[in-house]
Chains A and B, each alone.
Chain A
Amino acid sequence: DAGVIQSPRHEVTEMGQEVTLRCKPISGHNSLFWYRQTMMRGLELLIYFNNNVPIDDSGMPEDRFSAKMPNASFSTLKIQPSEPRDSAVYFCASSLKENYGYTFGSGTRLTVV
């Protein structure tokens, strides 16, 4: 099992550019989560999906952020336009309904200059 796979590992972009982060959850897991980690706020839940359907997106900071899960094996988190305050590590995690422990990916470190 390859675990939760995120790409890219690092992204440096200029303010105003569009950024797309990608996630492949563990096969068979039906819940997928996007978290953001910053020094000030720790690990914040941005959005989560159950069976590819967005369930709670109340953590999405603003309209510049959007997330999709077109199928059970792929999700994207898009920021358009990006701003320096979006700089953080973005984690994707997946879980089984019966298993309340998440498996996290290694994260994408985003730097917006």
Chain B
Amino acid sequence: DQQVKQNSPSLSVQEGRISILNCDYTNSMFDYFLWYKKYPAEGPTFLISISSIKDKNEDGRFTVFLNKSAKHLSLHIVPSQPGDSAVYFCAASARSGGSNYKLTFGKGTLLTVNP
């Protein structure tokens, strides 16, 4: 029972173009969402987050959009760079529900940015 779904196992884009990674969730109690980036042989590292009271959060080349009615969020990377090639994990938590330490992760999307 996957509560956080990343339906695209992989994505390939050209350097300089936009990368859009998608994530869907089923648990309506989720109110905080994060994206993590993972390089081979390393642990995931925090990239950007968004609270459910917002619909957009931007940090440099990275923007996360949240559509609560559709239970969907996306990560936009503009412009994409070869160093962005990694696995991206979407994660969610239900902070107001008391289990605010617990993150539920999707299976990840492998992004490849071609020079």
Contact = CB atoms under 8 A, between A and B. Distances in A.
B100 interface: yes
B105 A101 contact: no
Interface string A78-100: 00000000000001010101001
A48 B43 CA distance: 17
B96 interface: no
Nearest to A109: B41
Interface residues of A, number: 25
A91 B1 CA distance: 21
A8 to B, nearest CB: 14
A56 to B, nearest CB: 6
A45 B106 contact: no
Interface of A: 4, 31, 33, 35, 41-45, 48, 50, 55-56, 91, 93, 95, 97, 100-107
